[in-house]
Chains A and B, each alone.
Chain A
Amino acid sequence: GAVVSQHPSWVICKSGTSVKIECRSLDFQATTMFWYRQFPKQSLMLMATSNEGSKATYEQGVEKDKFLINHASLTLSTLTVTSAHPEDSSFYICSATLDAHNEQFFGPGTRLTVL
Protein backbone atom coordinates (compact mmCIF):
# COMPACT_ATOMS: atom_id res chain seq x y z
CA GLY A 1 0.00 0.00 0.00
CA ALA A 2 0.85 3.72 -0.10
CA VAL A 3 2.41 3.75 -3.54
CA VAL A 4 3.30 6.99 -5.28
CA SER A 5 4.13 7.17 -8.97
CA GLN A 6 5.69 9.87 -11.08
CA HIS A 7 5.51 10.45 -14.80
CA PRO A 8 7.67 10.76 -16.74
CA SER A 9 10.66 9.11 -15.11
CA TRP A 10 12.96 11.19 -17.25
CA VAL A 11 12.56 14.01 -19.71
CA ILE A 12 14.85 16.01 -21.97
CA CYS A 13 13.66 19.33 -23.28
CA LYS A 14 14.95 22.40 -25.05
CA SER A 15 15.63 25.61 -23.22
CA GLY A 16 12.55 27.84 -23.14
CA THR A 17 9.99 25.07 -23.25
CA SER A 18 7.69 23.98 -20.41
CA VAL A 19 7.65 20.55 -18.85
CA LYS A 20 4.91 18.95 -16.77
CA ILE A 21 5.61 16.26 -14.19
CA GLU A 22 2.80 14.24 -12.68
CA CYS A 23 2.67 12.77 -9.20
CA ARG A 24 -0.02 10.24 -8.36
CA SER A 25 -0.96 8.41 -5.21
CA LEU A 26 -2.08 5.05 -6.56
CA ASP A 27 -3.84 3.40 -3.65
CA PHE A 28 -4.68 6.18 -1.24
CA GLN A 29 -6.03 9.69 -1.16
CA ALA A 30 -3.43 12.29 -0.44
CA THR A 31 -4.63 15.64 0.75
CA THR A 32 -1.06 16.87 0.95
CA MET A 33 1.72 16.37 -1.56
CA PHE A 34 5.24 17.73 -1.54
CA TRP A 35 7.65 18.56 -4.31
CA TYR A 36 11.41 18.34 -3.84
CA ARG A 37 14.38 18.89 -6.08
CA GLN A 38 17.68 17.18 -5.70
CA PHE A 39 20.89 18.27 -7.38
CA PRO A 40 23.58 15.66 -8.05
CA LYS A 41 25.15 14.34 -4.88
CA GLN A 42 23.07 16.67 -2.73
CA SER A 43 20.16 16.31 -0.40
CA LEU A 44 16.48 16.86 -1.11
CA MET A 45 15.30 20.42 -0.91
CA LEU A 46 11.61 21.06 -0.39
CA MET A 47 10.17 23.30 -3.08
CA ALA A 48 6.52 23.47 -2.14
CA THR A 49 3.67 21.91 -0.24
CA SER A 50 0.57 21.18 -2.24
CA ASN A 51 -2.88 20.77 -0.74
CA GLU A 52 -5.80 19.49 -2.76
CA GLY A 53 -8.04 22.26 -3.96
CA SER A 54 -5.90 25.12 -2.72
CA LYS A 55 -2.84 27.05 -3.77
CA ALA A 56 0.52 25.55 -3.11
CA THR A 57 2.77 26.93 -0.41
CA TYR A 58 6.23 27.61 -1.75
CA GLU A 59 9.45 27.57 0.20
CA GLN A 60 11.54 30.67 0.39
CA GLY A 61 13.53 31.25 -2.76
CA VAL A 62 11.36 29.08 -5.01
CA GLU A 63 9.78 31.00 -7.86
CA LYS A 64 6.08 30.24 -7.90
CA ASP A 65 5.66 31.58 -11.41
CA LYS A 66 8.35 29.30 -12.70
CA PHE A 67 7.34 26.16 -10.85
CA LEU A 68 3.59 25.89 -11.21
CA ILE A 69 1.93 23.37 -8.96
CA ASN A 70 -1.60 22.11 -9.35
CA HIS A 71 -3.28 19.68 -6.97
CA ALA A 72 -6.63 19.23 -8.62
CA SER A 73 -7.62 15.92 -7.06
CA LEU A 74 -6.81 13.79 -4.05
CA THR A 75 -4.60 11.53 -6.13
CA LEU A 76 -2.85 13.87 -8.53
CA SER A 77 -0.48 16.79 -8.27
CA THR A 78 1.43 18.28 -11.17
CA LEU A 79 4.57 20.36 -11.31
CA THR A 80 5.12 22.43 -14.43
CA VAL A 81 8.54 23.91 -15.00
CA THR A 82 7.87 26.90 -17.20
CA SER A 83 10.41 28.33 -19.63
CA ALA A 84 12.94 25.77 -18.52
CA HIS A 85 16.64 26.60 -18.55
CA PRO A 86 19.69 24.39 -18.11
CA GLU A 87 19.97 25.40 -14.46
CA ASP A 88 16.56 23.79 -13.89
CA SER A 89 18.04 20.41 -14.75
CA SER A 90 17.63 18.33 -11.65
CA PHE A 91 15.98 15.30 -10.09
CA TYR A 92 12.45 16.15 -9.01
CA ILE A 93 10.80 13.98 -6.37
CA CYS A 94 7.27 14.16 -5.09
CA SER A 95 5.78 12.69 -1.96
CA ALA A 96 2.29 12.26 -0.58
CA THR A 97 1.01 12.00 2.93
CA LEU A 98 -2.03 10.57 4.64
CA ASP A 99 -3.63 12.94 7.06
CA ALA A 100 -2.69 12.49 10.71
CA HIS A 101 0.05 9.96 9.98
CA ASN A 102 2.79 12.41 9.17
CA GLU A 103 4.61 9.93 7.00
CA GLN A 104 5.47 10.88 3.47
CA PHE A 105 5.49 8.28 0.73
CA PHE A 106 7.91 9.12 -2.03
CA GLY A 107 7.67 8.76 -5.76
CA PRO A 108 10.55 7.34 -7.80
CA GLY A 109 11.59 10.75 -9.10
CA THR A 110 11.80 12.47 -12.47
CA ARG A 111 15.11 13.35 -14.07
CA LEU A 112 14.81 16.62 -16.00
CA THR A 113 17.54 17.63 -18.41
CA VAL A 114 17.24 20.98 -20.13
CA LEU A 115 19.46 21.45 -23.17
Chain B
Amino acid sequence: AQSVTQPDIHITVSEGASLELRCNYSYGATPYLFWYVQSPGQGLQLLLKYFSGDTLVQGIKGFEAEFKRSQSSFNLRKPSVHWSDAAEYFCAVGSLSGTYKYIFGTGTRLKVLA
Protein backbone atom coordinates (compact mmCIF):
# COMPACT_ATOMS: atom_id res chain seq x y z
CA ALA B 1 0.00 0.00 0.00
CA GLN B 2 1.12 3.52 -0.67
CA SER B 3 2.22 5.49 2.36
CA VAL B 4 4.17 8.53 3.43
CA THR B 5 6.10 8.75 6.66
CA GLN B 6 7.38 11.88 8.31
CA PRO B 7 9.28 10.50 11.30
CA ASP B 8 9.64 13.79 13.13
CA ILE B 9 6.47 15.22 14.64
CA HIS B 10 8.21 18.26 16.08
CA ILE B 11 11.52 19.89 15.25
CA THR B 12 13.04 22.91 16.95
CA VAL B 13 15.94 24.81 15.45
CA SER B 14 17.61 28.12 16.14
CA GLU B 15 17.24 30.92 13.67
CA GLY B 16 20.08 30.78 11.18
CA ALA B 17 20.67 27.07 11.67
CA SER B 18 20.27 24.54 8.91
CA LEU B 19 17.16 22.42 8.62
CA GLU B 20 16.33 18.98 7.27
CA LEU B 21 12.84 17.50 7.40
CA ARG B 22 12.56 13.84 6.59
CA CYS B 23 10.06 12.16 4.32
CA ASN B 24 9.97 8.51 3.34
CA TYR B 25 7.45 6.99 0.99
CA SER B 26 6.24 3.61 -0.07
CA TYR B 27 5.07 3.39 -3.66
CA GLY B 28 5.18 0.85 -6.45
CA ALA B 29 6.97 3.10 -8.91
CA THR B 30 8.55 6.52 -9.03
CA PRO B 31 5.91 8.78 -7.59
CA TYR B 32 5.24 12.46 -7.85
CA LEU B 33 6.49 14.10 -4.65
CA PHE B 34 5.54 17.35 -3.01
CA TRP B 35 6.34 19.46 0.02
CA TYR B 36 3.76 21.89 1.37
CA VAL B 37 3.86 24.37 4.21
CA GLN B 38 0.87 25.38 6.30
CA SER B 39 0.71 28.27 8.74
CA PRO B 40 -1.87 28.08 11.54
CA GLY B 41 -5.41 28.41 10.23
CA GLN B 42 -4.22 28.70 6.67
CA GLY B 43 -4.32 26.56 3.57
CA LEU B 44 -1.40 24.76 1.98
CA GLN B 45 1.37 26.47 0.08
CA LEU B 46 3.46 24.44 -2.34
CA LEU B 47 7.17 24.67 -1.58
CA LEU B 48 8.45 22.38 -4.31
CA LYS B 49 7.64 19.30 -6.33
CA TYR B 50 9.40 16.44 -8.07
CA PHE B 51 8.00 14.80 -11.15
CA SER B 52 11.12 13.58 -12.97
CA GLY B 53 14.59 14.64 -14.03
CA ASP B 54 17.09 16.27 -11.71
CA THR B 55 16.74 14.70 -8.30
CA LEU B 56 17.68 17.91 -6.49
CA VAL B 57 14.72 20.23 -6.62
CA GLN B 58 14.77 23.90 -5.78
CA GLY B 59 11.70 25.52 -4.32
CA ILE B 60 10.48 28.79 -2.95
CA LYS B 61 11.71 30.52 0.20
CA GLY B 62 15.17 28.99 -0.15
CA PHE B 63 14.02 25.38 0.29
CA GLU B 64 15.32 22.42 -1.64
CA ALA B 65 14.64 18.70 -1.58
CA GLU B 66 16.47 15.68 -2.90
CA PHE B 67 14.78 12.59 -4.28
CA LYS B 68 16.71 9.44 -3.40
CA ARG B 69 15.19 6.42 -5.04
CA SER B 70 17.41 3.94 -3.21
CA GLN B 71 16.25 5.28 0.14
CA SER B 72 12.66 6.05 -0.88
CA SER B 73 13.19 9.49 0.56
CA PHE B 74 12.44 13.06 -0.34
CA ASN B 75 13.94 15.16 2.43
CA LEU B 76 13.43 18.89 2.62
CA ARG B 77 16.36 21.16 3.44
CA LYS B 78 17.12 24.78 4.06
CA PRO B 79 20.62 26.07 4.81
CA SER B 80 19.55 28.91 7.12
CA VAL B 81 16.18 29.01 8.83
CA HIS B 82 14.28 32.25 9.39
CA TRP B 83 11.81 32.83 12.21
CA SER B 84 9.04 33.10 9.60
CA ASP B 85 9.64 29.48 8.60
CA ALA B 86 7.90 28.29 11.75
CA ALA B 87 4.91 26.30 10.48
CA GLU B 88 3.65 22.81 9.74
CA TYR B 89 5.29 21.00 6.83
CA PHE B 90 3.65 18.19 4.88
CA CYS B 91 5.18 15.77 2.46
CA ALA B 92 2.82 14.24 -0.11
CA VAL B 93 2.95 11.52 -2.72
CA GLY B 94 0.88 11.82 -5.86
CA SER B 95 -0.49 9.04 -7.97
CA LEU B 96 1.05 8.67 -11.39
CA SER B 97 -2.20 8.05 -13.15
CA GLY B 98 -5.90 7.60 -12.88
CA THR B 99 -7.16 9.17 -9.72
CA TYR B 100 -4.43 11.77 -9.16
CA LYS B 101 -4.88 11.27 -5.44
CA TYR B 102 -2.39 12.52 -2.93
CA ILE B 103 -1.31 10.76 0.22
CA PHE B 104 -0.11 13.14 2.89
CA GLY B 105 2.37 12.48 5.64
CA THR B 106 1.43 13.27 9.20
CA GLY B 107 3.33 16.54 9.14
CA THR B 108 6.28 18.03 10.98
CA ARG B 109 5.79 21.09 13.14
CA LEU B 110 8.78 23.40 12.98
CA LYS B 111 9.58 25.76 15.81
CA VAL B 112 12.25 28.39 15.35
CA LEU B 113 14.09 29.85 18.31
CA ALA B 114 15.23 33.44 18.13
Of the candidates B44, B100, B104, the one whose C-beta lies within 8 Å of that of A102 is B100
- Evaluate contact between B49 and A103: CB separation under 8 angstroms: yes
* Cα distance, A97 to B101, chains bound together (Å): 10
Chain A: residues with Cβ within 8 Å of the partner, total of 23
Prevailing SS type, chain A contact patch:
strand
One of B21-29, B60-68, B71-79, B88-96 at the interface: B88-96
Contacting residues, chain A, for B100 (C-beta < 8 A): 32, 49, 97, 102, 104
B33 → A minimal CB distance (Å) = 11
* Cα distance, A97 to B34, chains bound together (Å): 14
Given contacts A32-B100, A42-B106, A46-B102, contact A102 B43 (CB under 8 A): no
- Evaluate contact between B101 and A34: CB separation under 8 angstroms: yes
A70 → B minimal CB distance (Å) = 19
* Cα distance, A93 to B44, chains bound together (Å): 9
* Cα distance, A106 to B113, chains bound together (Å): 29
A90 → B minimal CB distance (Å) = 13
* Cα distance, A97 to B44, chains bound together (Å): 14
B10 → A minimal CB distance (Å) = 10
Q: Is A111 an interface residue (CB 8 A)?
A: yes
* Cα distance, A57 to B49, chains bound together (Å): 26
- Evaluate contact between B96 and A102: CB separation under 8 angstroms: yes
A34, A44, A46, A93: residue with the most chain B Cβ atoms closer than 10 Å: A44
* Cα distance, A97 to B97, chains bound together (Å): 12
Which chain B residues (33-66) contact chain A, with CB distance < 8 Å? 34, 36, 41-44, 46, 49, 51
Q: Which residue of B lies closest to A38 (CB)?
A: B38
Q: Is B70 an interface residue (CB 8 A)?
A: no
Q: Which residue of B lies closest to A106 (CB)?
A: B44
Q: Which residue of B lies closest to A4 (CB)?
A: B43
Contacting residues, chain A, for B105 (C-beta < 8 A): 43
